[in-house]
Structure 1
Amino acid sequence: MRCVTIILAFFLLHQPVNGQKEGRALIDSLVSELPNAKDDTLKGRLYKRIADESFFIDTRQALTYARLGLAHVSAMRWQRGIGVFNVAMARAFSDMGNVDSCMYYNKRGLEVFRKMGDTYNMANTFNNIGVMQQNLASNYPEAIRYYLLALKEAEKLGDKYLMSNASDNVGSVYLTQKNYKKALFYSLKALNLRGQLEKGDNYNIEREVGNSLNTLGSIYLQMKDTTAARGHFSKALVMQERAGNTEGLAKAYGSLALLENRNYPKRLSYARKSEQLWNEVNPVHIEAANNVGNIGAAYLEMYKIGSLPEGITSKALLLKEAEQYLRKAIRISEQNGDIGYKSHFTGILAEVQEQMGDFRNAFYNFRAYKMVEDSLFSQEEKNKIAGLEGEREIALRDKQIRINALELEARKRQQWLLTGGLLLLAGIGALLYRQNRMRKRTNVQLLHLNNELDEANQVKARFFAILSHDLRSPVANLVNFLHLQKEAPDLMRAEAAEIHQKRLTESAELLLEGMESMLLWSKTQMQQFKPQARRVAVEDLFEYIRKFFSGTEHIRFTFDNPGSLTVVTDEDYLRTIMQNLTHNAVKALKRTQNAEIHWKAEAKGGRIVLSVADNGPGASDEQLNALYDDHATIGIKSGLGLHLIRDLAKAISCEISARPNAGTGMLFSLVIKEA
């Protein structure tokens, strides 16, 4: 158990010169700086630091500097400083066993901190009041109550230093109640927290860890686990020597003395080292009383077994030494107000008095011992302590339940958000996938169309190249003849002029025919001109052909439409096809005797077939190539008409075929679906 000093972040002393110093050397260095401190705030911090370090070296010196510091900050009207030094004064009076003064200054400090809302220093003050209730008043339920208040505030702040001090003190109360399981739990918790501390001006890590090791050693000692106890006490001794902690060393040596049991020379050696150190730091400390009382108990044990130590010549002297040390322990306990150790050593004194034959005083002392023991360690006291901790555990459990509920709600919300996010991502992914598929399909279609367009452009380029040549030739002949006739009419005889004029007339007719076919074909290539299907009478189509070629004298035209058939198609497209086929037949029959062209309409298998036959010389496969092949070479004299017929027929979904007629000539068939 230990009292905790109050150090705030703003109330720390940052002195690089003193960073590596410990114990008395550090205190002397700080005292030497006081006269040079011109700033009042800095001087107040120096007073506080000196008081804090002095508690582990000399309690009276700590009280002196705490009093000087309180006067200094009171003159400054520094409220937090006033609270801090009030609690420092309370700690000094607690170590000296002055209950009333300790409680007075603690209450003054607590009042300042409550007004300021200073949770950190409130936690420290609660802890200090708990120490006073435990050590001076032996009121263990009140001690536990204040320790748990300190622990609650420390946990709110998450301050490991405050949490470790409160936990260590709770463990010490359970140790006095012999509840070793609880004592170990809180003491190990304190050791773990102190092991996580980082170096700071308000505490010494080795000193804090050493205090925890000493507490754990005391627990194992009472549990009769001497091996574990010795290990912890030895480690604590090393830590306190490094820290220069006189108080900690005194506790460690006193604890090691108890371990030696029947090795009385070593036991007394450790105990006297502890006594010497307690006389330096605080002769009236409760652990100082415990140490000298244990020396008295050792002399009583030596008397019982008849072991005489060096310097003792008779067993009677052993009893006198035992009585002397036990009375000193009781006197120190009375001075510091500790009921527990006073009662314990009063009971041992009664045993000494019994051995000395003073049965009357032995009886009275033993009865006083039993009354106090029954009061301090009664079941009622234990129940009160258990009830206080139970309240804390219930509060912690309720808090954890609320935290778990909030976490569960947050997880559910997070789960819904995650599910929504996944669905959104899935939707976006599906849209992107669909868009990608559509883009790929579109790209394939575009690539296909581009290829077709490139191919069509190449065909059209070849067509226009041939067309330009075929058109230029007759025009050039006509121009040359006109120039010759104008500039040198005498060079041409009448017979030659007539022959040339005949050729020019033929060339002009051929040119007109080619231009007409080209214009019709160009019209079919324009996308805005689309077939307009409607029902057309075959007889009307035949009548159109009959009238169109009525001026052709040397050819006999016949038409056969037995069923008065009709077709559903674009009339203009079909007329042009029939006109071109008829025109091609007329050209083929130019030198044929008894020339005939026969148009026939018939229904076959749900389709209408229009066919034209002639008795001319026929046509070769090369001449008909333009009717089927898009890449065929074409020109005015080599297939422009058939190329036009093919494109027009394709536009109105008309199947066209050509084959030799029976005997002589050609037969062209147009197959149209019957509506």
Structure 2
Amino acid sequence: MRALVVILGLFLLISNAFGQREGQALIDSLVAELPRTRDDTLKGRLYKRIADEYFFIDAQMALTYAKRGLAHVTAMRWQRGIGVFSTSLARAYSDMGNVDSCMYHNLRALAVFRNMGDTYNMSTTFNNIGVVQENVASNYPEAVRYYLLGLKEAEKQGDKYLMANTCNNVGAVYHIQKNYKKALFYCLKALKLREQLEPSDIYNKAREIANSLTTLGGIYLEMNDTITARKYFDRAVVLSEKSGNKEGLAKVYGNLSLLEGPDFAAAIAYGEKAERLWNEVNPRHILAASNLGNMGKAYLHMHESGYLPKGFSGRPQLLEEARQYLTRAIQVCSENGDVSYKSDFTGLLAEVQAQQGDFKNAYFNFKSYAAVHDSLFSQEEKNKIAGLEGEREIALRDKQIQIGSLELEARKRQQWLLTGGLLLLAAIGALLYRQNRLRKRTNVQLLHLNNELDEANQVKARFFAILSHDLRSPVANLVNFLHLQKEAPDLLTQEAAEAHQKRLTDSAESLLETMESMLLWSKSQMQQFKPQARRIAVDDLFEYIQKFFAGTGRIDFTFENHENLTVVTDEDYLRTIMQNLTNNAVKALKNTDQAMIKWEAKTQKGEVVLSVTDNGPGASAEQLGALFTDNAAIGIKTGLGLHLVRDLAKAISCRISVQPNAGNGMIFSLAIANA
């Protein structure tokens, strides 16, 4: 059972000053604002906002302010205001179980909105009437019919708030029918829509999400998936407390009471929490009756199980407690016109009375329960019809949407063809106009292309030298091994084959690293790739290095940036430099115990200096030559990575220095001007 959806209408914004308050604090601030508000329209909006907030705290006060608001807008002759407050009154009467008054005000509101062509508020009113038909009148076919009418109008508006409310209500009908698959489909759709809502003064996003979580938890509880149900309920409690939603908390606590099951103490504790909240908010609510009945059922189960909680003198006292709770639950059901819960609790009361020896009343109550229970079979058939009817209407609506989409796509294609024809004619004219100008520019462009081809040839020659020197050997080894395996497999023992395969694997991995480095280096040699300088946080660079080498578990990485420095340079170039220097350090530490790599950022003489330190065996001057000399040989063993670092650093004006210390590691420093 759910409260009616609040109609928003024109009552969209009151004041940003109330945005950070919730619950009673928000209501008090709104009420205090009423005497100071002179504008009639603004005062009407204040009445509406106060009534809306009271629905989650005190239904009687919500009714009071809805009546005051209706009188105010009626005096103004504001039609939309009359429709909106009529809906608020309908919601209040629904919570109190007054079906006739509820339907009167809902139909009055619907007539107002229909005359105005207000599809937004029509959607919410349809949904509200569906809630009345479902919760109060138990007429599920009518409920689904009104829900689908509301959903149709909500989809026209594209309003996620309205669509979520309607989907949640349709899911609740399937929940009652125990069609859990359909119930989960619609309720999860509602939750997704509510999570996409933007923060607003009109609705409380946390409260809306909490309502969806409670509904989903109830479905999983009936499916006996208590773990998933508890997860949803726990999240709902947090969000309900955050939003000051007492009604939402009461619903969650009532469900948690059922969830606890055999843990009678916990079940009663949650039930009492829910009872206290319902007494504050709306003691005549149908879920307040449900909670009372479930408390009576829990005490009956205690008596049957032999469990006697503290403070009880004996088992007869448990039966008396069960009788009192069940009697109160039946009374509330009678007040709000509910039949289903009343029948169930009457049957339980008959069982309690029989165990107490009151066989006369037990007989009459059981007879009443049996009569209603027999009539429920016909109601179950209505529920099945509602499910089929709902599915049919949804299928028809989906088909209409599909047809509309196809027609829209056809019109779009026609428009594109017409536009394309016009553009083609324009393009032909432009080409004819530009033809003479292009002829004059052709020679200049050819000359420029020749220069670029010369540069490209130089790069290509350099690449072929690298390929010849560094790539031929591992590939040749692989081919020779494959031939040997194919033509004379008996010549290789299993141990020899495994050794060859390991060497080939190591060679292939080295080859892959070399190819990656060459590709990055070649990119840096091409003039069309220019550095794009921007300000970068050093912490972001350190985080990238940390994530990139996260799998290197045997090395202790540390990063220090005490001054929270930033640099202005090309991020991709600098990342590649840092990655290569770190990779070289990782390779150097391959056979080092207690290996460590430390990145540090500091300022020196107006520059930002990034340094990487390792405790490896160090490097020779020949190995470091590729970092400073263009003529140094390039190869896997002779510093291709350092060539890449050198060229990239030169492109972004980064000065590199190195402090070799054989036997105790290396320190590479990158100095960048502090812009």
2:384 aligns to what? 383
Between structure 1 and structure 2, the one with the greater Rg is 1
1:245 aligns to what? 245
User: Residue type of the partner of 1:218?
Assistant: G
Q: C-alpha separation between the residues in 2 aligned to 1:404 and 1:91?
A: 37
Q: C-alpha separation between the residues in 2 aligned to 1:282 and 1:77?
A: 32
Q: Structure 1 regions of 5+ residues with no counterpart?
A: 442-675
Q: Is the 1:57–1:245 Cα contact (8 Å) retained in structure 2?
A: yes
User: Residue type of the partner of 2:381?
Assistant: E
Q: C-alpha separation between the residues in 1 aligned to 2:198 and 2:424?
A: 48
Distance 1:377 1:58, change over 3 A: farther
Distance 1:286 1:438, change over 3 A: closer
SS at match of 1:241: helix
User: Residue type of the partner of 1:51?
Assistant: A
How many Å apart are 1:250 and its aligned residue? 0.8
Q: C-alpha separation between the residues in 2 aligned to 1:26 and 1:181?
A: 39
Q: C-alpha separation between the residues in 2 aligned to 1:367 and 1:288?
A: 25
Q: Is the 1:177–1:377 Cα contact (8 Å) retained in structure 2?
A: no
Q: C-alpha separation between the residues in 2 aligned to 1:360 and 1:3?
A: 41
Aligned residues: 440
Distance 1:177 1:363, change over 3 A: farther
1:352 aligns to what? 352
User: Residue type of the partner of 2:147?
Assistant: Y
How many Å apart are 1:417 and its aligned residue? 5.4
SS at match of 2:251: helix
* Within-5 A mapping of 1:303-382: 303-376=303-376, 378=378, 379-382=380-383
SS at match of 1:200: coil
The CA deviation string for residues 190-222 of structure 1, in whole angstroms up to 9 with x for no partner, is: 101100111122210000000000000000000
SS at match of 2:8: coil
Distance 1:362 1:76, change over 3 A: same
Q: Is the 1:13–1:49 Cα contact (8 Å) retained in structure 2?
A: no
Q: C-alpha separation between the residues in 2 aligned to 1:370 and 1:333?
A: 17
1:106 aligns to what? 106
Q: C-alpha separation between the residues in 1 aligned to 2:355 and 2:280?
A: 34
User: Residue type of the partner of 2:341?
Assistant: Y
Q: C-alpha separation between the residues in 2 aligned to 1:42 and 1:199?
A: 21
SS at match of 1:309: coil
User: Residue type of the partner of 1:405?
Assistant: L
SS at match of 2:138: coil
1:63 aligns to what? 63
How many Å apart are 1:420 and its aligned residue? 5.5
1:400 maps onto 2:401 in alignment: yes
Q: Is the 1:113–1:121 Cα contact (8 Å) retained in structure 2?
A: yes
User: Residue type of the partner of 2:315?
Assistant: K
Let me know the Cα RMSD of the aligned residues: 2.6
How many Å apart are 1:233 and its aligned residue? 0.5
Q: C-alpha separation between the residues in 1 aligned to 2:114 and 2:42?
A: 25
2:131 aligns to what? 131
2:291 aligns to what? 291
1:639 aligns to what? none
Q: C-alpha separation between the residues in 1 aligned to 2:6 and 2:417?
A: 50
Q: C-alpha separation between the residues in 2 aligned to 1:89 and 1:415?
A: 52
How many Å apart are 1:396 and its aligned residue? 1.6
The CA deviation string for residues 471-501 of structure 1, in whole angstroms up to 9 with x for no partner, is: xxxxxxxxxxxxxxxxxxxxxxxxxxxxxxx
Deviates more, 1:268-277 or 1:133-142: 133-142
Q: C-alpha separation between the residues in 2 aligned to 1:244 and 1:437?
A: 72
The CA deviation string for residues 634-664 of structure 1, in whole angstroms up to 9 with x for no partner, is: xxxxxxxxxxxxxxxxxxxxxxxxxxxxxxx
The CA deviation string for residues 138-164 of structure 1, in whole angstroms up to 9 with x for no partner, is: 111111111111111111111111111
Distance 1:438 1:258, change over 3 A: closer
Q: C-alpha separation between the residues in 1 aligned to 2:428 and 2:14?
A: 61
Q: C-alpha separation between the residues in 1 aligned to 2:21 and 2:439?
A: 79
User: Residue type of the partner of 1:4?
Assistant: V
Q: Is the 1:135–1:337 Cα contact (8 Å) retained in structure 2?
A: no
TM-score, normalising length: structure 1: 0.61
Distance 1:29 1:431, change over 3 A: closer
The CA deviation string for residues 599-629 of structure 1, in whole angstroms up to 9 with x for no partner, is: xxxxxxxxxxxxxxxxxxxxxxxxxxxxxxx
Q: C-alpha separation between the residues in 2 aligned to 1:411 and 1:116?
A: 32
SS at match of 1:11: coil
Distance 1:438 1:152, change over 3 A: closer
1:449 aligns to what? none
User: Residue type of the partner of 2:395?
Assistant: I
Q: C-alpha separation between the residues in 1 aligned to 2:351 and 2:99?
A: 30
Q: C-alpha separation between the residues in 1 aligned to 2:431 and 2:105?
A: 74
User: Residue type of the partner of 1:394?
Assistant: A
The CA deviation string for residues 65-113 of structure 1, in whole angstroms up to 9 with x for no partner, is: 0111111111111111111111111111110111111111111111111
Q: Is the 2:5–2:124 Cα contact (8 Å) retained in structure 1?
A: yes
The CA deviation string for residues 254-292 of structure 1, in whole angstroms up to 9 with x for no partner, is: 111111111111111111011000000100001100111
Q: Is the 1:56–1:248 Cα contact (8 Å) retained in structure 2?
A: yes
How many Å apart are 1:363 and its aligned residue? 4.4
How many Å apart are 1:344 and its aligned residue? 2.0
Q: C-alpha separation between the residues in 2 aligned to 1:422 and 1:35?
A: 64
Q: Is the 2:51–2:62 Cα contact (8 Å) retained in structure 1?
A: yes
SS at match of 1:268: helix
Q: Is the 2:30–2:46 Cα contact (8 Å) retained in structure 1?
A: yes
How many Å apart are 1:400 and its aligned residue? 2.8
How many Å apart are 1:382 and its aligned residue? 2.6
Distance 1:307 1:414, change over 3 A: same
Q: Is the 2:82–2:109 Cα contact (8 Å) retained in structure 1?
A: yes
User: Residue type of the partner of 1:168?
Assistant: N
Q: Is the 2:174–2:387 Cα contact (8 Å) retained in structure 1?
A: no
Q: Is the 2:130–2:143 Cα contact (8 Å) retained in structure 1?
A: yes
How many Å apart are 1:170 and its aligned residue? 1.1
User: Residue type of the partner of 1:262?
Assistant: P
Q: Is the 1:167–1:187 Cα contact (8 Å) retained in structure 2?
A: yes
Distance 1:154 1:361, change over 3 A: same
Distance 1:423 1:174, change over 3 A: same
Q: C-alpha separation between the residues in 2 aligned to 1:146 and 1:270?
A: 35
1:143 aligns to what? 143
User: Residue type of the partner of 2:349?
Assistant: L
1:115 aligns to what? 115
How many Å apart are 1:321 and its aligned residue? 1.0
* Within-5 A mapping of 1:544-563: none
How many Å apart are 1:242 and its aligned residue? 0.2
Q: Is the 1:165–1:190 Cα contact (8 Å) retained in structure 2?
A: yes
1:182 maps onto 2:182 in alignment: yes
Q: Percent identity?
A: 57
* Within-5 A mapping of 1:563-578: none
Distance 1:375 1:381, change over 3 A: farther
Distance 1:415 1:129, change over 3 A: closer
Deviates more, 1:358-367 or 1:142-151: 358-367
User: Residue type of the partner of 2:394?
Assistant: E
Q: C-alpha separation between the residues in 1 aligned to 2:113 and 2:441?
A: 75
User: Residue type of the partner of 2:401?
Assistant: Q
Distance 1:377 1:206, change over 3 A: farther
How many Å apart are 1:341 and its aligned residue? 1.4
Distance 1:420 1:44, change over 3 A: closer
2:499 aligns to what? none
Q: Is the 2:210–2:240 Cα contact (8 Å) retained in structure 1?
A: yes
Deviates more, 1:76-85 or 1:377-386: 377-386
2:193 aligns to what? 193
1:413 aligns to what? 414
How many Å apart are 1:357 and its aligned residue? 3.8
How many Å apart are 1:324 and its aligned residue? 0.9
How many Å apart are 1:369 and its aligned residue? 3.1
Stretches of 4+ aligned residues off by more than 6 angstroms = 421-441
The CA deviation string for residues 443-470 of structure 1, in whole angstroms up to 9 with x for no partner, is: xxxxxxxxxxxxxxxxxxxxxxxxxxxx
* Within-5 A mapping of 1:580-599: none
The CA deviation string for residues 503-541 of structure 1, in whole angstroms up to 9 with x for no partner, is: xxxxxxxxxxxxxxxxxxxxxxxxxxxxxxxxxxxxxxx
SS at match of 2:57: coil
How many Å apart are 1:434 and its aligned residue? 9.4
Q: Is the 1:256–1:270 Cα contact (8 Å) retained in structure 2?
A: yes
